[in-house]
Structure 1
Amino acid sequence: MKYFAGLDVSLEETAICVADENGRIVKEARAASEPQALSEALRTIDLPLERVGLEACSLTAWLHDHLRDDGVNAICIESRQANAAMKTMPNKTDRNDARALAQIMRTGWYRQVHVKSRQCRLWRSLLVARRTVLNEMRSIENVVRAILREAGIKLGTLSRTAFASRVRELADADAQVAAMVEPLLAILATMLAEFVRLTKQVIDIVRKEDVCRRLMSVPGVGPITALTFRATIDRPDRFSRSRAVGAHLGLTPARYQSGETDIVGKVSRCGDELARTALYEAAHSLLVRSKKWSSLRAWGIAIAKRRGMARARIAVARKLAVILHRMWADATEFRYGKESVSAMVA
């Protein structure tokens, strides 16, 4: 007889359910959401577990790694598919969710999620921390601009380093406005210093990573994009075809087809938002800032002339995902291509 377990993980406690190959619930338990406690609970059940399923969540990777080390065949499953099965239960409880996960493991109706290595998870945490600080700095800058506009002061376009000095220069004439913006400028100064520290950590990592340095040979791809792509993909052999990477990162159009209806919509935006944003920014840099000719840039410019710059950025970002994966898998450098005679004359 084969047995399958489902673990409904919450922050403090995990509900455990074990079903046999016929779908009958044989054992249920609860344990603390800690690796040792879960391993001990599964050993106490004392049944040969074929598969143990966990729904993807913030604790999953940590628990998955430790359970695997303890010899448990732990499988992380895709959340949307798990939720579809859980909705068949009339009442949503942790116990019912664990039962649904056990049945999913039994039937094999699941999509296994790749659990990234610990190093890639740490790199991604660093990138998320850096992006969070950057977003908060932008929010505070926008608040400062709004305060100044109320006093009829327009800042215009400024670099981040010149922002504080220009604000103080313009706000000095109004003591009340100056008193309001000064605390915000002090916060910005502290955040800017920490942002620089986080960015330096990223650059130090990229300098030591051969894969990142190879990816940076692509025009428009800098340290942030290279490390983001490296941390997101983790292992290039996860994808049998490089074209699948664009869809994995949500850079391909969503499609709805039923009968005579066949609608191709906007990009799906599924997958890792951090990597998708980094590739979009790299595409913008390639199209707008890069001066060196490449067949990729020429292709993107041609799309921009036909369909607009916004669509061109998406198309180039998708192509970048494919190229970066292929370069990584084949350990090759970026190929600029051969410029045509007509392009050289133009």
Structure 2
Amino acid sequence: MTYYAGLDVSLEETAICVVDEDGKIVKEMRAESAPDALHDALKRLDLPLARVGMEACSLTAWLHDGLTQAGWPAICIETRRANASMKAMPNKTDRNDARALAQIMRTGWFRQVHVKSQQSRRWRSLLVARRTVLNHMRSIENVVRAITREDGIKLGTPSRKDFAARVREMAGGEPELMAMLEPLLAVLASMIEELARLTKRVLDIVKNEATCRQLMTSPGIGPIHALTYRATIDRPERFARSRDVGAHLGLTPSRYQSGETDITGKISRCGDELGRTGLVEAAHTLLVRGRKWSALRAWGLAIAERRGMAKAKIAVARKLAVILHRMWVDGTDFRFGKEALA
């Protein structure tokens, strides 16, 4: 007899449900959400588990690594498909979710999610921390602009390092106004220092990471974009075809087809948002700021003439995702191509 386990993970406790190959519930219990505690709970069952499934969440990678190292056939499954099955339950409880996950493991109706290596997860956390600081800096700058604009002061477009000086120069004659702005400028100065520290950490990593340096031979790809792509893909061999990377990052059109209806929509936006955003930023740099000729840039500019720059950026981002994967697999640098003679 073969058995299957479903784990509904929450921050403190995990609901566990075990079913046999006929779908009959054999055991239900709860355990602490920690690898050792889950290992002990599953070991006490003394049953041959074919699959131990859990839904993707913030604790999944840690638990998956621990259970796999302990010898359990742990599987992380995609959230949307799991939710579709869980909606069949009339009541939303941890116990019912664990039951649904166990049945999903038994039927095989799931899409397995790749669990990234610990190093890639840490790189991604560093990039998320840097982006968070940058986003909050922009928010503070926008608040300062809004406050000064109410007094008719237009700050223009100074660089980030000159922003505080411009504010003090233009609003320094208003003591009451500066009493509100100085705390914001002090916070902004501190965040600029921390952003520089996080950026230096990224640059140090890229300097010693051969794959990132290889990816940076592509136009538009800087250190931040290279490490983002490296951390997102993690292992290039998990994609059978390079063109699958574009769909994995949500850069391919969504589609709705039913009977005579067949609608091709905007990009799906599935997958890793950080990696997708990084590629779109790289495409913007390549098309708008880049000056060196390449077959990729010429192709993108031709699309921009026909369909507009917004669509061209998405198309170039999708092609960049494919090209970077091929470069990584083949161990080659970017090929600019030969410019046609006039």
* Counterpart for residue 47 of structure 1: 47
Q: Is 1:211 matched with 2:231? A: no
Q: What's the CA shift for 1:158?
A: 1.2
Cα distance between partner residues in 2 of 1:260 and 1:183:
61
Deviation per CA, 1:112-161: give whole Å up to 9, x if none. Answer: 00000000000000000000000000000000000000010001111100
Cα distance between partner residues in 1 of 2:83 and 2:6:
13
Q: Secondary structure at the match of 2:278?
A: helix
Q: What's the CA shift for 1:84?
A: 0.6
Whichever residue aligns with residue 153 of structure 2, its letter is I
Q: How does 1:127-146 map to 2 (within 5 A)?
A: 127-146=127-146
Q: What's the CA shift for 1:196?
A: 0.3
Q: Is 1:56 matched with 2:56? A: yes
* Counterpart for residue 277 of structure 1: 277
Q: Is 1:322 matched with 2:288? A: no
Percentage of pairs with the same residue: 74
* Counterpart for residue 303 of structure 2: 303
RMSD of the alignment, in Å? 0.5
Q: How does 1:72-111 map to 2 (within 5 A)?
A: 72-111=72-111
Q: How does 1:1-346 map to 2 (within 5 A)?
A: 1-342=1-342
Q: What's the CA shift for 1:222?
A: 0.1
The unaligned stretches of length 5 or more in structure 1 are none
Whichever residue aligns with residue 276 of structure 1, its letter is R
Q: Secondary structure at the match of 1:219?
A: coil
Runs of 4+ in 1 over 3 A off after TM superposition: none
Deviation per CA, 1:294-323: give whole Å up to 9, x if none. Answer: 000000011111111111100000000000
Q: Secondary structure at the match of 2:28?
A: strand
Cα distance between partner residues in 2 of 1:319 and 1:202:
25
Cα distance between partner residues in 2 of 1:155 and 1:253:
40
Q: What's the CA shift for 1:203?
A: 0.4
Q: What's the CA shift for 1:173?
A: 1.3
Whichever residue aligns with residue 181 of structure 1, its letter is L
Q: Secondary structure at the match of 1:245?
A: helix
Q: Secondary structure at the match of 1:341?
A: coil
Superposition TM-score, scaled by structure 1 size: 0.98
Q: What's the CA shift for 1:106?
A: 0.5
Q: Secondary structure at the match of 2:279?
A: helix
Q: What's the CA shift for 1:201?
A: 0.4
Q: What's the CA shift for 1:45?
A: 1.0
Q: What's the CA shift for 1:288?
A: 1.1
Q: Secondary structure at the match of 1:321?
A: helix
Q: What's the CA shift for 1:259?
A: 1.0
Whichever residue aligns with residue 29 of structure 1, its letter is M
Cα distance between partner residues in 1 of 2:205 and 2:125:
13
Whichever residue aligns with residue 177 of structure 1, its letter is L
Deviation per CA, 1:30-54: give whole Å up to 9, x if none. Answer: 0000111000000011111111001
Cα distance between partner residues in 2 of 1:264 and 1:272:
22
Superposition TM-score, scaled by structure 2 size: 0.99
Aligned residues: 342
Q: Secondary structure at the match of 1:103?
A: helix
Q: What's the CA shift for 1:191?
A: 0.2
Cα distance between partner residues in 2 of 1:158 and 1:314:
29
Q: What's the CA shift for 1:291?
A: 1.0
Deviation per CA, 1:266-307: give whole Å up to 9, x if none. Answer: 111111111111100000000111111000000001111111
Whichever residue aligns with residue 320 of structure 2, its letter is L
The unaligned stretches of length 5 or more in structure 2 are none
